[in-house]
Chains A and B, each alone.
Chain A
Amino acid sequence: MAILQIRQAIRDAMKEEMLRDERVFLMGEEVGHYNGAYKASEGLLEQFGPKRVIDTPIVETGFSGVGIGAAMCGLRPIIEFMTFNFSAVAFDQIMNNAAKIRHMTNGQFGVPIVFRGPNAAAHMLGSTHSQAFEPYYAHIPGLKVIAVATPYDAKGLLKSAIRDDNPVIFLESELMYSVKGEVPDEEYTIPIGKADIKREGKHVTVVTWGQGVPVSLKTAELAAKEGIEVEVIDLRTLRPMDIETVITSVKKTNRAVVLFHDWPYGGVGCEVIAQIQELAFDHLDAPVLRECYEDVPFPYADNLEQLVLPTPEKGLAAVKKVLYRG
């Protein structure tokens, strides 16, 4: 097995799918000559040429719409947003076209498209460039939403996303492109809609995804020093959600914390909690807690930014609180 960074796993996934299916192409700002703002498309222009790796002007509405149209016409575009913060400009295209065409044409047209790029806060990017977009997209019927945290998951899920016949939002992280991990040499895919238990434990279930995964794993390490065994569940797909894995775990631990890089109000964390209370009410020994961003616009200053982010220490405090050890 090769040890790859997430950016390389993403590049390999795109490369393999482009080799496998000539309908697949990549489009976005700086994806070609610059090899991607985060080097996730390194070498692809050279290999596949400018017809399949397309640099666009800085106009998200435009290239998102072109991508959706291409998908309706039978191609399989991958649209890279330099960050998902910029997808706000393309929001109407995604919400009203990508998500709704299949429904509104009664299946005459599908939109097999992937929108991918980094999501949520990185480091000192200010409030307009530090936002998590999964709640906006996961809210919309017709979209699938994926958030990855390891090279293995990134490659396997991106390949599934590209092969999917429906629009998929694929969330990465600027801070995690260099995260390394084992990736099999042979071909593999990971089905959309399957969570992964990243660490087993019996005392508390921590449900997480994306940038929350490394924080949760560190939380589990801190908790282990106090004799608390935390089970970390990486949802990987936020819509459709693998609630079964979560419920099975909560029925075992009777306690849950949802840890994620996003604001608390509404959103995916709330969806997880709503489903837990609905499906495992009689198994809960404590209220389910959230550990996430503070409910404020993201500060630019380093010291203030640190206060807003979920940390392993805050995660541990939440874990202890649901254990009544707080």
Chain B
Amino acid sequence: MATVVELPRLSDTMEEGVIAKWRIKVGDKVKRGQVIAEIETDKATMEFESFDSGTVLKLIAAEGETLPIGAAIAVLGAPGEDPDAGAKPAGTPAAGTPPASTPATPKIATKEEGAHGETKPAGEPGSGAEVNAPPPPAPATGSEEQVPTDRSQKPAGDDGRVPASPLARRLAREHDLELGGIQGSGPHGRVVKADVDQAIAAGTGGAPQKPAPAPAAATAGAPAAGAANVERPAAKVSAAPGVPGAEADADGRPYVSRPTKTIKLTQMRKTIVKRMGQSKREAPHIYLTTAIRMDRAMAIRAELNLAVDGTKISVNDLIVLACARALRKHPKVNSNYTEQGILEYGDIHVGVAVALDDGLVVPMIRFADQKTISAISRESRDLGLRAKNKELRPEEMTGSTFTISNLGMLGVESFMAVVNPGESAILAVGATNEEAVVDNGAVVVRKVMRVTLCSDHRAFDGADSARFLQTLKSLLENPMALFG
């Protein structure tokens, strides 16, 4: 691991020093005790003998520069080692490794890389083990002027536990900060009170220790899951500091109490409130659930993705197509109740609910019954992406005649949805999971997906709903029919 050489205290009264002259250059091999620089103190110019051995990876301080005691002046290590290893992540962070709270220090190109790439180990006896040890993964430094030192590195413990003082832990808990997102300034990267205080003051403290749940795109891919911003910048959990409350646990430690907050309604939220409220108040909902065996649909999807270049069809795309075909066969479901009569739509525009951070939108695939599976897939992905980026045009979100809401990627087995005003049915799609089912008297493992058709009883009845589901089930269990 690279060792940072710090400006030493060479006299009792010395507070800062000037590098009068470097006696080493990048690439040199330094032995413990070797004079590496001449340093001007308040009293005299003195020779600085290295405390460490290794190859000079970098000279941080320039000759003539005035520096405080302890300032990083050079980096020693193994040849070819990244001198900034202490200042930025050394490799791909493992799952659960928190993202850095601030961008990493820009990497400084080092000229010596390669040029002095001797194969001899750089470490001298007595220091070799440390010099040659692989650099541990380290998070970015908290601020730009911070130098990469051993103290700024966070050891990658096998258990992923962040080193922190008990006090820092308690403060982080009280302020809803994740320790993993706070740069520790204590020994071995220990997070101490000052670091938590700084994070609180900066308002930057902490990223969630666990990444947001990754959509299970492989089993229940949907536009919402497709190219969605899985890598969202980590958000702070909450800004509200906690205070010890009146109630305490069995050990007498008070529970942390936090204030209730009022979140202002966004325009999108207001629209959802209005439309969902209206639907639930006016439309008598009925819900019918059926289990669909998806083995063949999954197989054909995989085959299509292999066979057709550039295609990445999701399960949801197949459901969109199957719904569109089923709607053509059961036009009653593609409708809307009005006081003047039931509107039975001639066109089939299938809306797909896309979850956003602060609500949801329903862009649609127009004339879905007349489109190929690849066209539906392309459109669906494009709409999903633009929905996340809030780039959808209003006309892309108005005029759907039927809606699909898929929460399968979040592991939901089945659920009930609220009919979109202007339509009379919405299909709530659950996850596709392997289940033990009875087939011809034998228990076998099958991929099963549950869908619930949620519909407005004023427009059509339970039996109509059931017949639609029968067709849908048949199409998805015999998916070749979709391509007939």
A-B interface, 6 closest residue pairs, ranked by CB to CB distance from nearest? A285-B167, A282-B170, A285-B165, A285-B193, A284-B166, A281-B166
Within 8 A of A (CB), among B222-260: 253
A282-B187 in contact (CB<8A)? no
Q: Does A254 contact B (CB under 8 A)?
A: yes
Q: Does B473 contact A (CB under 8 A)?
A: no
Query: Among B166, B186, B187, which residue has the most Cβ atoms of chain A within 10 A?
Result: B166
Tell me the minimal C-beta distance from B413 to chain A in angstroms. Answer: 41
A282-B185 in contact (CB<8A)? no
Provided the pairs A282-B253, A286-B186 are in contact, do residues A324 and B192 lie with their beta carbons within 8 angstroms? yes
Q: Kindly list chain B residues whose C-beta atoms are within 8 Å of the C-beta of A139.
A: none
Within 8 A of B (CB), among A287-326: 324
A281 to B193, CA, bound (A): 14
**Chain A: which residue is nearest B165 at the CB level?**
A285
Q: Does A283 contact B (CB under 8 A)?
A: yes
**Chain B: which residue is nearest A277 at the CB level?**
B166
A282 to B193, CA, bound (A): 11
A284 to B186, CA, bound (A): 13
Query: Among B167, B194, B253, which residue has the most Cβ atoms of chain A within 10 A?
Result: B167
A120 to B166, CA, bound (A): 35
Tell me the minimal C-beta distance from A168 to chain B in angstroms. Answer: 33
A residues whose Cβ falls under 8 Å from a Cβ of B? 254, 281-286, 324
Query: Among B185, B193, B194, which residue has the most Cβ atoms of chain A within 10 A?
Result: B193
B167-A283 in contact (CB<8A)? yes
Within 8 A of A (CB), among B168-201: 168-170, 185-187, 192-194
Query: Among A254, A281, A282, which residue has the most Cβ atoms of chain B within 10 A?
Result: A282
A283 to B166, CA, bound (A): 6
Q: Kindly list chain A residues whose C-beta atoms are within 8 Å of the C-beta of B186.
A: 286, 324
B170-A324 in contact (CB<8A)? no
A285-B192 in contact (CB<8A)? yes
**Chain A: which residue is nearest B186 at the CB level?**
A324
A324-B166 in contact (CB<8A)? no
Known A282-B253, A284-B166, A285-B167; 16 more pairs at CB < 8 Å: A254-B167, A254-B193, A281-B166, A282-B166, A282-B170, A283-B167, A283-B170, A284-B165, A284-B167, A285-B165, A285-B166, A285-B192, A286-B165, A324-B185, A324-B187, A324-B194
Tell me the minimal C-beta distance from B264 to chain A in angstroms. Answer: 36
Q: Kindly list chain A residues whose C-beta atoms are within 8 Å of the C-beta of B166.
A: 281-285
Q: Kindly list chain A residues whose C-beta atoms are within 8 Å of the C-beta of B167.
A: 254, 282-285
Tell me the minimal C-beta distance from B245 to chain A in angstroms. Answer: 15
Tell me the minimal C-beta distance from A172 to chain B in angstroms. Answer: 36
Query: Among A254, A281, A283, A286, which residue has the most Cβ atoms of chain B within 10 A?
Result: A286
20 pairs, CB–CB < 8 Å, chain A vs chain B = A254-B167, A254-B193, A281-B166, A282-B166, A282-B167, A282-B170, A282-B253, A283-B166, A283-B167, A284-B165, A284-B166, A284-B167, A285-B166, A285-B167, A285-B168, A285-B193, A286-B165, A286-B192, A324-B185, A324-B186
A285 to B194, CA, bound (A): 9
A285 to B165, CA, bound (A): 5
**Chain A: which residue is nearest B167 at the CB level?**
A285
Query: Among B165, B185, B187, B253, which residue has the most Cβ atoms of chain A within 10 A?
Result: B165
Q: Kindly list chain B residues whose C-beta atoms are within 8 Å of the C-beta of A284.
A: 165-167
Q: Kindly list chain B residues whose C-beta atoms are within 8 Å of the C-beta of A282.
A: 166-167, 169-170, 253
A254 to B165, CA, bound (A): 10
**Chain B: which residue is nearest A251 at the CB level?**
B167
Q: Kindly list chain B residues whose C-beta atoms are within 8 Å of the C-beta of A324.
A: 185-187, 192, 194
Tell me the minimal C-beta distance from A22 to chain B in angstroms. Answer: 49
Q: Kindly list chain A residues whose C-beta atoms are within 8 Å of the C-beta of B253.
A: 282
Within 8 A of A (CB), among B124-166: 165-166
Tell me the minimal C-beta distance from A70 to chain B in angstroms. Answer: 46
A184 to B188, CA, bound (A): 52
Q: Kindly list chain A residues whose C-beta atoms are within 8 Å of the C-beta of B169.
A: 282
Tell me the minimal C-beta distance from B51 to chain A in angstroms. Answer: 15
Tell me the minimal C-beta distance from B196 to chain A in angstroms. Answer: 9
A281 to B168, CA, bound (A): 11
**Chain A: which residue is nearest B196 at the CB level?**
A285
**Chain B: which residue is nearest A326 at the CB level?**
B187
Tell me the minimal C-beta distance from B146 to chain A in angstroms. Answer: 14
Within 8 A of A (CB), among B101-115: none
Tell me the minimal C-beta distance from A292 to chain B in angstroms. Answer: 21
**Chain B: which residue is nearest A283 at the CB level?**
B167
A324 to B170, CA, bound (A): 19
Q: Kindly list chain B residues whose C-beta atoms are within 8 Å of the C-beta of A254.
A: 167, 193
Tell me the minimal C-beta distance from B6 to chain A in angstroms. Answer: 13
A287 to B192, CA, bound (A): 11
Tell me the minimal C-beta distance from A222 to chain B in angstroms. Answer: 13
A281 to B253, CA, bound (A): 11
**Chain B: which residue is nearest A282 at the CB level?**
B170
Q: Kindly list chain B residues whose C-beta atoms are within 8 Å of the C-beta of A286.
A: 165, 186, 192
A286 to B192, CA, bound (A): 8
A285 to B168, CA, bound (A): 7
**Chain A: which residue is nearest B169 at the CB level?**
A282
